[in-house]
Amino acid sequence: MERSIDELARLVEYHQDRYYNDQPEISDAAFDALWDELQNRAPDHPIFSRVGTDDASGFPKVRHLMPMGSQEKASSPDQLLKWAARVSHRRYIVQYKLDGASLELQYRDGLFERGVTRGDGVVGDDITANVRRMQGVVPRLPNRFTGAVRGEVIMTHEIHRRYYSDKANCRNAANGLMKRKDGEGSEHLTVMCYDAHVDGDTRPFDDELAKLTWLADQGFHTVPYEVFESAEEIVHYRDVVAERRAELEFDIDGLVVKGPEIDWADMQRARPQKQIAFKFSAEEALSVLREVEWSVSGHLYTPVAHIDPVQLAGTTVRRASLVHPELIADMGLRVGSEVIVSKRGDIIPKIERLVRHLPESTEITVPGTCEVCGTDLVNEGKRLYCPNLTCPKRDFHRLQKWISVLDVRDFGDVLLGKLFDAGLVREIADLYALEWEQLAEFEGMGETSARKALGNLTAVRSVPLARFVAGFDIFGIAELKVQKLVDAGFDTLEALRHAAVEDLAAADGIAEVTAQQVATGLAEVYPKMERLLATGAVEIEAPASRDATADADPLAGLTFCFTGALETMKRGDAEQLVRARGGEARSSVSGALSYVVTNDPGSGSSKLRKAAELGVPVISEEEFRRMAGLEE
Ligand SMILES: [Zn+2]
């Protein structure tokens, strides 16, 4: 559902008003996206003819020497290329598009006379007294220059951080300061210049490049420029600039692109055609939450927001993640809430925050029962799930997980769904009892694909323990987590299953809550694991590098922590060696540690101080090598 033009215009007006009253509720990027959308869909909307009018300002009104029309805009490469094809410049001059407030500096006979704000583009506020205090204003120009210099009033990040961090951003702060009656703070603003126009016949510059050089020669702060031969290069350059944008000392919101010739006639248009603002693609936008769908994956119910479509990072976004019920409550979201949606690069779009509730908003309902088995759902805030261990959804998800963790090709969800719905497969063990004829009966399957699917499945016989456990879809337990437990010595299914929660939690990188999930989860799925192993089709790989002889485990029962550089091996290899010899390696010092290993016992490092406090013995690398059986 697309929002209507009227709705959109109301949004623009509302947020424009917040913005001018110095209380913006949405980011500039989100506002720009709204503005652009309205401009694209209703270019003649009356909103566009009353830009930036603030007649309550009380400053005298002055007519511009160079009209400031509204700028042509492109926010996608496609739009820029179309514009370039239309104007066909020989070359392109490309500059940063500063995110500040436009200003015209007027000169007469070489002397700075007036500073005029953008106003409505034709007439602006005379804020000369303030402008005289700003950085980058050249009071006297040579050759009795009469005309105008155009620039942007900006505040640097440094100044913003130091003095105005209470303002939403640099531009807001600059806008407020430049219009103060007492002129206070104007010395914190800088005028950066990019254009000039001579009133008269003798011109100190013939084209745009000479103009920029002239500006810099007079002592104005200028915006750096690049010259490109093709529009494709500009598209690439925008990506480059977008990356270094955060490191610049001032805000920019895109690039300004123009041709090399000075075209005075074009500049006088309400909307000059020969130059364009090529904006960064928006990563945030304002939308309205219209509906919440509860997507079911296994036993988990996850909220997904359906929003009014918005353009973000080059794509149309209609759905955004809401993560879990607690987040909805924390943000205070309702159906009919205006929200900020973000999408950065390849990341899944998400709801960033609530802006406000529209009048007709309603509460978001959290489902109470499982849509599959009817069991009452459990809402733990961070997860909403069906607690029924035999809920079909949960079973099906486990099958999908097994196929995906083992990376079985040509055994997709569609096939799995058919097998499940036909009652042929309920749990993983059932997969290995299938005959190709049963698969071949499904529509569109045939003998070849049926044999291929089963062949791929049975090709995987020996599975590492961590992968085996992860394949059983225990909540919160990915393969890497289990591997940490395996590395810590729980390297058989029996060892894992019988370990006490506190022992599991003592392993490096395992939180108490994870340890609990492993213990409960394993207890739940163990019968299924047994049935799978009983088929003989799959076996768990024997633990690596653990010999049967007692001598091969010289470090059994010992825990080590390494600190400082080792001479004969890398720390990771040393830790590997400890595990291979039956011991455990830890990254931090605790009372349970057997030894701290270091070559620099006098370094005074925090680990060594802690070892001394706790009475943990400190040994050298050489002593460690001897213990591990590497040296006599
Ligand atoms: Zn259920």
Separation of 385 CA from ligand 1 center, angstroms?
8
Separation of 367 CA from ligand 1 center, angstroms?
12
- Percent of the chain's residues with pLDDT above 90: 47
Longest dimension (CA), the chain: 99
3-state DSSP assignment of residue 410? coil
Most confident option among 15-29, 85-99, 232-246: 85-99
Res 57: pLDDT: 64
Q: Tell whether 151 is covered by a domain.
A: yes
Q: Which tens digits make up the pLDDT trace of 52-65?
A: 444 556 788 888 88
Separation of 387 CA from ligand 1 center, angstroms?
7
Under 8 Å between Cβ of 505 and 512: yes
Res 550: pLDDT: 45
Domain edge (last residue) among 277, 307, 332: 277
DSSP 104-150: EEEEETTEEEEEEE-TTSSEEEB-HHHHHHSBT--SB-STT--EEEE
Is the model more confident about 142 or about 125?
125
Q: Is the model's pLDDT at 436 over the cut of 80?
A: yes
Q: Do 320 and 258 have their domain in common?
A: no
* Tokens of residue 61, six digits: 């009104």
Q: Do 224 and 120 have their domain in common?
A: yes
What is the rounded distance in angstroms from the CA atom of residue 341 to the CA atom of residue 312? 9
Q: Do 260 and 128 have their domain in common?
A: yes
What is the rounded distance in angstroms from the CA atom of residue 71 to the CA atom of residue 18? 23
Residue 531, burial from CB neighbour count under 10 angstroms (0-12, 13-18, 19+): middle
Q: Do 349 and 313 have their domain in common?
A: yes
Question: Under 8 Å CB-to-CB from 254, ≥6 apart: which residues?
Answer: 75, 97, 238, 277, 278, 279, 280
What is the rounded distance in angstroms from the CA atom of residue 18 to the CA atom of residue 374? 47
Q: Tell whether 20 is covered by a domain.
A: no
Q: Is the model's pLDDT at 105 over the cut of 80?
A: yes
Helix (H) or strand (E) holding 327, with range, is helix 325-331
Q: Which residues are catalytic, by number?
A: 97
Neighbouring CB atoms inside 10 A of 444's CB total 8
Separation of 299 CA from ligand 1 center, angstroms?
6
Is the model more confident about 284 or about 210?
210
Separation of 459 CA from ligand 1 center, angstroms?
33
Q: Tell whether 13 is covered by a domain.
A: no
Among residues 268, 266, 250, the alpha carbon closest in space to that of 258 is found at 266
Residue 262 φ/ψ region, left for φ over 0, alpha for ψ in the -120 to 50 degree band, beta for the rest: beta
Q: Tell whether 145 is covered by a domain.
A: yes
Q: CA distances (Å), 466 to each of 257, 365, 456, 486, 599, in order?
A: 55, 38, 21, 7, 34
What is the rounded distance in angstroms from the CA atom of residue 167 to the CA atom of residue 355? 18
Q: Do 126 and 262 have their domain in common?
A: yes
* CATH code of 228's domain: 3.30.470.30
* CATH code of 610's domain: 3.40.50.10190
Mean pLDDT of 548-565: 75
* CATH code of 351's domain: 2.40.50.140
Domain edge (last residue) among 252, 277, 302: 277
Separation of 389 CA from ligand 1 center, angstroms?
8
Poorest-confidence range of 149-158, 375-384, 496-505, 565-574?
565-574
Res 54: pLDDT: 47
Q: Do 310 and 448 have their domain in common?
A: no
Boundaries of domain holding 445: 392-460
What is the rounded distance in angstroms from the CA atom of residue 39 to the CA atom of residue 48? 8
Neighbouring CB atoms inside 10 A of 527's CB total 10
Q: Do 502 and 472 have their domain in common?
A: yes
Q: How much of the chain is helix, strand and coil, in % rounded to 5? A: 35, 25, 40
Q: Do 454 and 406 have their domain in common?
A: yes
Res 240: pLDDT: 87
Q: Which ranges of 460-605 would DSSP assign to H, the alpha helix?
A: 465-470, 479-487, 493-498, 501-505, 512-534, 571-580
Res 345: pLDDT: 62
Res 569: pLDDT: 81
Q: Tell whether 298 is covered by a domain.
A: yes
Is the model more confident about 292 or about 606?
292
Neighbouring CB atoms inside 10 A of 258's CB total 23
Res 122: pLDDT: 84
Cα distance between the two ends of the chain: 77
As a whole number of Å, the CA-based R_g of the chain is: 34
Domain edge (last residue) among 411, 440, 460: 460
Separation of 372 CA from ligand 1 center, angstroms?
5
Mean pLDDT of 86-110: 93
Q: Which tens digits make up the pLDDT trace of 278-296?
A: 988 777 888 999 999 998 8
Is the model more confident about 476 or about 152?
152
Q: Is the model's pLDDT at 41 over the cut of 80?
A: yes
Res 548: pLDDT: 44
Domain count, the chain: 5
Mean pLDDT of 191-202: 88
Q: Is the model's pLDDT at 242 over the cut of 90?
A: no
Residue 44, burial from CB neighbour count under 10 angstroms (0-12, 13-18, 19+): exposed
What is the rounded distance in angstroms from the CA atom of residue 207 to the CA atom of residue 197? 11
Mean pLDDT of 532-540: 94
Res 544: pLDDT: 64
Among residues 40, 46, 16, the alpha carbon closest in space to that of 30 is found at 16
Mean pLDDT of 385-393: 87
Q: Do 556 and 521 have their domain in common?
A: no
What is the rounded distance in angstroms from the CA atom of residue 351 to the CA atom of residue 305? 8
Mean pLDDT of 61-84: 87
Separation of 332 CA from ligand 1 center, angstroms?
28
Q: Tell whether 370 is covered by a domain.
A: no
Report residue 115's pLDDT band, with 50, 70 and 90 as the boundaries: very high
Mean pLDDT of 99-128: 92
Among residues 298, 354, 344, the alpha carbon closest in space to that of 322 is found at 354
Res 579: pLDDT: 84
Is the model more confident about 68 or about 522?
522
Neighbouring CB atoms inside 10 A of 246's CB total 7
Res 209: pLDDT: 93
Res 535: pLDDT: 93
Query: Side by side, which strands form the sheet with 276-279?
Result: 73-74, 276-279, 252-258, 92-98, 225-228
> pTM here?
0.49
Own/partner pairs, 562-571, CB within 8 angstroms, 24+ separation: 562/596, 562/597, 562/598, 563/596, 563/597, 563/598, 563/603, 563/605, 563/607, 563/608, 564/598, 564/599, 564/600, 564/603, 564/605, 565/599, 566/597, 566/599, 566/621, 567/599, 567/621, 568/621, 568/625
Q: Do 172 and 260 have their domain in common?
A: yes
Under 8 Å between Cβ of 22 and 167: yes
Q: Do 517 and 599 have their domain in common?
A: no
* CATH code of 531's domain: 1.10.150.20
Q: Is the model's pLDDT at 549 over the cut of 50?
A: no
Q: Tell whether 28 is covered by a domain.
A: no
Q: Which tens digits make up the pLDDT trace of 312-368?
A: 876 788 999 898 999 999 999 999 999 989 887 667 888 988 988 988 899 999 999
Q: Tell whether 252 is covered by a domain.
A: yes
Among residues 287, 324, 286, 279, the alpha carbon closest in space to that of 77 is found at 279
Q: What is the mean pLDDT of the chain?
A: 87
One-letter amino acid of 62 = V
Separation of 259 CA from ligand 1 center, angstroms?
64
Separation of 300 CA from ligand 1 center, angstroms?
9
Separation of 415 CA from ligand 1 center, angstroms?
22
Q: Do 95 and 235 have their domain in common?
A: yes
Angle of CA points 229, 235, 238, to nearest 5°: 110
